[in-house]
Amino acid sequence: MKAVVYERYGTPEVLEMKNIQKPVPKENEILIKIYATTVTAADWRLRKADPFLARLFNGLFRPKKVKVLGLDLAGVVEETGNKVKSFKKGDAVFAFCGFNFGAYAEYKCLPENQVISLKPSNMSFEEAATVPTGGLTALGFLKKAGIKKGQDLLIYGASGSVGTFAVQLGKYFGARVTAVCSTANMNLVQLLGADRVIDYTKQDYTKLESRFDIVFDAVGKTSKSAGKHLLKPGGKYVSVKGSPGFRPGDLHVLKGLFESGDLKTVIDRRYPLEQIREAHAYAETLRKKGNVVIHILPDTEKIQTP
């Protein structure tokens, strides 16, 4: 099968299209024909081994454990192992591949008890592929902070993948959302439902007089010490620099929220798998709005934009 392989750490040029062996599902696994994947921060960071400690996970001198990146996928079940009960051939699914990555390819095997769900019926494969990493991370951190109706939530870095899902989830949970982003993204986060938008290029959010039940750094560019005075007594600070602690069932929860219209995804750019280097170079600028999607098979379904 066709796959994007990397054999050394470095710039996007280390990503190469190759033919590798098509995987065969074990008895508890499903084989998914991949229609679309994404470029997440984890993909480009692991490609360049940033931070350096990533090498402890994936090989000190060169990539060993993961040679095919790609955390998110959407596609169709092509084959099932003989003990698989939850999925059948032909099911349209979306999934988070976890730390084995491997979605930059035509096929991927995943154990059926991993983070896999039927694809939301109102989303194209491209749209669905954007959901797992960003959506699960946003949901995981908001749940970890104990989000409740009527709370005041500040989201720093509201325009990236995690941020755009966090703004919408914050509204879904009934919070009043203050979103912090740059001038160019103010309109976007307002459209996503933010009650108040702070342009960090014009105003220092740490000097706000308002106080919040939750401060969520969705981009990992602030610190607890910088924002802790913004918290109400008992308020919680959470950051993507920690662990979101989501559960496999959370992807099913997100499916329901897309189908009910409570969530939408933001797609900034689309690339074919053959242009994965360009896609990585763009995602790495840290300027993407929402998500960068990679199509592997043509997807003719309707694309939604907010």
Ligand X SMILES: NC(=O)c1ccc[n+]([C@@H]2O[C@H](COP(=O)([O-])OP(=O)(O)OC[C@H]3O[C@@H](n4cnc5c(N)ncnc54)[C@H](OP(=O)(O)O)[C@@H]3O)[C@@H](O)[C@H]2O)c1
Contact set with ligand X (CB under 6 A): 40-42, 133-134, 137, 157, 159-163, 181-182, 185, 200, 219-221, 240, 243-244, 283, 286-289
Residue 153 CB, shortest distance to ligand X, in Å, is 16
- Three-class DSSP labels, 179-237: EEECHHHHHHHHHCCCCEEEECCCCCHHHCCCCEEEEEECCCCCCHHHHHHHEEEEEEE
DSSP code string of 1-47:
-EEEEESS-SSGGGEEEEE-PPP---TTEEEEEEEEEE--HHHHHHH
Cβ distance to ligand X smaller for residue 31 or 147: 147
| Beta-ladder partners of 199 | 181
Cβ distance to ligand X smaller for residue 157 or 235: 157
Tokens of 261: 């219209």
Cβ distance to ligand X smaller for residue 80 or 133: 133
Cβ distance to ligand X smaller for residue 31 or 283: 283
Cβ distance to ligand X smaller for residue 41 or 93: 41
Which residue of this chain has its Cβ atom nearest to ligand X in the complex? 160
- Three-class DSSP labels, 226-272: HHHHHEEEEEEEEECCCCCCCCCHHHHHHHHHHHCCCCCCCEEEEEE
Residue 136 CB, shortest distance to ligand X, in Å, is 8
